[in-house]
Amino acid sequence: MSDLKDNILASGGIPASPEPESVRQPNVFAIEHLAQWDRGESVWTIEMGGLGPGYEQALQILAVEIVRDELNNPLPQKEYGKWGDATVERIDQRDPVTGKYACGGFSGAQVGAAKQIAYRLLRDGQEWLKAAPDGRKIQVSRFFPAAPKPVNVARSEQIQVADRGKAKTKEGAK
C-alpha cells in the first residue's frame, strides 16, 4: 500500500474540517477542476488505485461526479457513511440487456478512494494536491476510456463563471 493510502487509513478517515460547515464555501479549486473536466481537459489528481488505468479511471470519474453532486452540500464530519452513495447509484447503472455497468461496477475500495479524493478536493483543493508525493500525481480526463456526460448541470452556473473568468484572462493576454 502506498504512503498516501497508509496516511489516509491511519488518519481514521476524515480529518477535522478547518472551519464550521455553516461558513464553508465551495472550494474554488474544486469548481475549476470540475469545469476543466467538463471541457474535456485533463486535470491533476492523485493516483489511488494502483491496479491499472481502467480501474484508476473509474474511481477518478466517480470522484469528479461526487464533487459535482456535493459541491454545495455540507461535508461529513466524522465518517463518510452514505455521503456520495447517490452519485455511485447515478453513474454506475447496470444495463438490463447486457448486464454491464456503465463504469464497470465499482468495488468498495474504488468507492472509498473516490470519496476520499472528492472530500479532499472539496475541503482542501489545490493544497491537497501540492502535499501529495510527486510519484502519486497523475493527469486524467473524462475521455479515457469514457465518462458519462454530465447530467446534473444545474450547478453549471459556478462552472460557467469559472469558464468566463478563464476566457477573460485569455482575451486580456492577446
User: What residue has cell string 469514457?
Assistant: 146
Cell numbers at residue 136, please? 502519486
Provide the terminal-to-terminal Cα distance of the chain, rounded to the nearest Å.
47
Most confident of 34-48, 68-82, 155-169: 34-48
How many C-beta atoms surround the C-beta of residue 130 within 10 A?
10
The structural domain count of the chain equals 1
Which residues are within 8 A (CB) of 55 and not within 5 positions of it... i.e. 6 or more apart? 49, 110
The 10s digit of each residue's pLDDT in 71-84 is 888 888 877 788 89
157 vs 61, higher pLDDT: 61
The 10s digit of each residue's pLDDT in 83-104 is 899 998 888 888 888 888 777 7
Which residues are within 8 A (CB) of 60 and not within 5 positions of it... i.e. 6 or more apart? 45, 114, 117, 140
| DSSP at 77 | S
Q: Could you tell me the residue range of the domain that residue 46 belongs to?
A: 3-173
